[in-house]
Amino acid sequence: MKILIINTHDISGGAARAAYRLHQALLEAGVESRMLVQSKKSADETVIGRKSITIAQKAVGIVRPQLDGLPTRIYNHKTKTLFSPSWVPMSSVIRGIENFDPDVVHLHWICGGMMSIEDIGKIKKPIVWSLHDMWAFTGGCHYDKECGKYVTSCGSCSVLGSKKEYDLSRHVFLRKQKAFADMDNIIIIGLSRWLADCAQKSALFASKRVLNLPNPIDTRIFAPIKKQEARMVLNLPMDKKIILYGAMSATSDPRKGYNELIKALRMIPQDSDTELLVFGSSGSDNTLDCNFKIHYLGNIHEDLLPSLYSAADVMVVPSLQENLSNAIMESLACGTPVIAFAIGGNGDLIDHKLNGYLAEPFSSADLAEGISCVLNSAHPELLAQNAREKVLRCFDRKVVAKKYIELYKSVIR
């Protein structure tokens, strides 16, 4: 069985790490898996960096991400939410697929100039497509700010700040509609039940087969470390309660919910024994009235993440839209309970008051209640045990890889 996993990056970013973890799990299970990427950072020989065969293709390859974003620049009121037109030609992905000749092509996050919408329609092999956000079935946005227009057709895009019915989002939607229309060789995977449900309701995938399968995680790597040892590694105070928060663009991306977190912390009585730890950001302007001392760690290497999660007493993931959060899964695997809003795929991971707390969307008051509830729990060891056991049972690499292998076999048959 030959599987080709396609993602823009191999180890840079949440979707890349999730795709690479699946690739590693498949290799460990004896599957002949390769990963085809646009930007390769690892030294893994089973990861194939895209190779352009002409000088022109090499030149385009370097600037593809910038070129892909050009059509959005005419929208002066565009929000910070990512929008990908995926129009750049001269992609060598189809050639890479033909060279490897896989039994199944497994698409993951393919934006940032990796391939055009039209390229997807040219794939002749059976396709499994794992959705890491909403882009595959929208007119270009990666999260729709709950506008729901993908159910019919896009236009007047709130992410673009557009009031025109026939705008870039409608144009991208129609391109997808044309490219996907005759694709009967594709299975859509929602990594969370929420995203699978959104995909099935969408106009683009309503007639396609949609399943729910999660990301895997290596629970040998993401495992509990003694709290004192973890804090020693990170030079953190030994005698404090630590609230952990972090994400890519942790304090600058409104979708990550940093504003909601700060509001929640302001509602908790000032406590010199409790401090906030932030990774993925080096600082923020929105901390003037926060009751707690804040440590900003900036970007953290993945090797340090198990120590980071283990050092904390609780993790808060206050995202306003979320698929299947790597941060939540990683924290739970390390035995640290998580507080998040009851939205998206958070309920797939968090069992309310058993391994964390699901707060009412988007109530900072209930988020504060969740933080207090976990920090003051009479049985913190039980929360930690439940957190670890949930991941071992549902998301461990062996459990998830087995499900994907069964899917691949059914596709090939």
Q: How far is CA 258 from the centre of its chain?
A: 17
> Same structural domain for residues 23 and 103?
yes
| 128 plus 188 within the same structural domain | yes
Mean pLDDT (the chain) is 93
SS3 389: helix
First-residue to last-residue Cα distance in the chain: 11
Please say if the pLDDT value at position 286 is more than 70: no
**pLDDT over 90 at 388, yes or no:** yes
- Do 248 and 332 lie in one domain? The reply is yes
Is 35 within a domain?
yes
Choose among 45, 85, 34: nearest CA to 64: 85
- pLDDT reported for residue 361: 97
Half-sphere exposure of 130 (CA within 13 A, CB side): 28
Same domain? 196 vs 231: no
Question: Are 41 and 82 members of one domain?
Answer: yes
Band of residue 59 on the pLDDT scale cut at 50, 70, 90: low
Report whether pLDDT(77) > 80. Answer: yes
Q: What is the pLDDT of residue 283?
A: 72
Is 315 part of a structural domain of the chain? yes
Q: Do residues 240 and 209 both lie within one domain?
A: no
* CATH of residue 50: 3.40.50.2000
Express as a percent the part of the chain with pLDDT over 90.
Answer: 83
Q: Does 262 have pLDDT greater than 60?
A: yes
Cβ atoms within 10 Å, residue 163: 11
Quote the distance between the C-alpha of residue 288 and its chain's center: 30
Distance separating alpha carbons of residues 230 and 233, to the nearest angstrom = 5
Residue of 180, 28, 203 lying closest to 107 (CA atoms): 180
Same domain, 198 and 265: no
201 in any annotated domain: yes
8 CB-near residues (< 8 Å, 6+ apart): 15, 16, 37, 38, 39, 109, 110, 111, 112, 113, 114
Give tens-digit pLDDT for 135-194: 999 999 999 999 999 999 999 999 999 999 999 999 999 999 999 998 999 999 999 999
Q: Is residue 385 part of a domain?
A: yes
Q: Note whether 212 and 231 are same-domain residues.
A: no
How many domains does one find in the chain? 2
Q: Which helix (H) or strand (E) holds 341?
A: strand 338-341
Identify whether 72 is part of a domain. Answer: yes
Distance CA 398, CA 277 (A): 32
Handedness of CA 213, 214, 220, 224 (dihedral sign): negative
Q: Are residues 374 and 401 in the same domain?
A: no
Report if residue 301 sits inside a domain. yes
Domain assignment present for residue 221? The answer is: no
In a domain, 222, yes or no: no
Same domain, 194 and 98: yes
Pull the structure tokens for residue 78: 């565009």
Is 58 found in the same domain as 165? Answer: yes
Name the residue with higher pLDDT: 77 or 51. 77
* pTM of this structure: 0.93
Structural domain boundaries, residue 176: 2-216+396-412
Same domain, 206 and 128: yes
